[in-house]
């Protein structure tokens, strides 16, 4: 009979990713607190800082989020002065998101706080790239598997 080892929690890659994600979330919760931003709001802002103006659909495509998830997030960003939402003049069904002057002005300060993560991790650029490549490969393989079973 083969020597089958029981599954150990600490040897599970999914648990390691889950735990690391929780720790990242805790870090971001603390560094984004002065800006009254949550992590999902921050990644929306990151995308908008890079590509704005965007439609809600385009933003959702970048973040892999549907409009039902994005709408409350965008309402909070708007109520805190980060963005403005307006109906498109070309198609009134489309909502366009634009950054406010406050958002443009706070960008570098937000980045300064978030940059602390890289200082804490103390990763060489090649280590960071290797981590990103490994995670991307995991995502791709899981996407391929999930598309077969969905």
Q: Please indicate, yes or no, if residue 84 is contained in any of the structural domains.
A: yes
In this predicted structure, what is the pLDDT of residue 61? 96
Does residue 8 register a pLDDT over 90? no
Does residue 42 register a pLDDT over 80? yes
Q: Please indicate, yes or no, if residue 143 is contained in any of the structural domains.
A: no
In this predicted structure, what is the pLDDT of residue 4? 67
Average confidence (pLDDT) over 95-113 = 97
Helix boundaries (H) for the chain: 13-32, 39-51, 56-63, 67-79, 101-114, 116-121, 125-149
Q: Please indicate, yes or no, if residue 135 is contained in any of the structural domains.
A: no
Under the banding of pLDDT at 50, 70 and 90, the label for residue 1 is: low
Place of tokens 């937000």: 110
Q: Please indicate, yes or no, if residue 128 is contained in any of the structural domains.
A: no
Does residue 114 register a pLDDT over 70? yes
| DSSP β-bridge partners for residue 99 | 83
CA–CA distance, 26 with 24 (Å, rounded to integer):
5
With contact defined as beta carbons under 8 Å apart, do 97 and 53 qualify? yes
pTM of the model: 0.85
In this predicted structure, what is the pLDDT of residue 85? 96
The CATH number of whichever domain residue 40 belongs to comes to 1.10.10.10
pLDDT digits (tens, 9 = 90+) for 59-91: 999 999 998 999 999 999 999 999 999 998 888
With contact defined as beta carbons under 8 Å apart, do 83 and 37 qualify? no
Q: Please indicate, yes or no, if residue 69 is contained in any of the structural domains.
A: yes
In this predicted structure, what is the pLDDT of residue 7? 82
Domain count, the chain: 1
pLDDT digits (tens, 9 = 90+) for 43-67: 999 999 999 999 999 999 999 999 8
Q: Please indicate, yes or no, if residue 132 is contained in any of the structural domains.
A: no
Q: Please indicate, yes or no, if residue 150 is contained in any of the structural domains.
A: no
Tokens of 133: 């490549």
Containing structural domain, residue 78: 9-114
Q: Please indicate, yes or no, if residue 107 is contained in any of the structural domains.
A: yes
Under the banding of pLDDT at 50, 70 and 90, the label for residue 2 is: low
């Amino acid at each position: 009979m083969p020597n089958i080892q029981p599954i150990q929690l600490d040897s599970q890659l999914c648990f390691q990713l889950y735990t690391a994600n929780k720790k990242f979330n805790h870090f971001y919760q603390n560094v984004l607190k002065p800006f009254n931003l949550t992590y999902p709001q921050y990644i929306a802002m990151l995308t908008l800082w890079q590509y704005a103006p965007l439609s809600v659909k385009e933003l959702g495509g970048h973040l892999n989020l549907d409009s039902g998830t994005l709408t409350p997030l965008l309402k909070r960003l708007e109520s805190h002065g980060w963005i403005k939402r307006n109906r498109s003049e070309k198609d009134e069904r489309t909502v366009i998101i634009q950054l406010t002057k406050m958002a443009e002005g706070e960008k570098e300060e937000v980045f300064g706080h978030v940059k602390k993560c890289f200082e804490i991790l103390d990763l060489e650029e090649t280590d960071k790239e290797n981590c990103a490549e490994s995670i991307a490969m995991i995502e791709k393989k899981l996407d391929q598997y999930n598309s077969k079973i969905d």
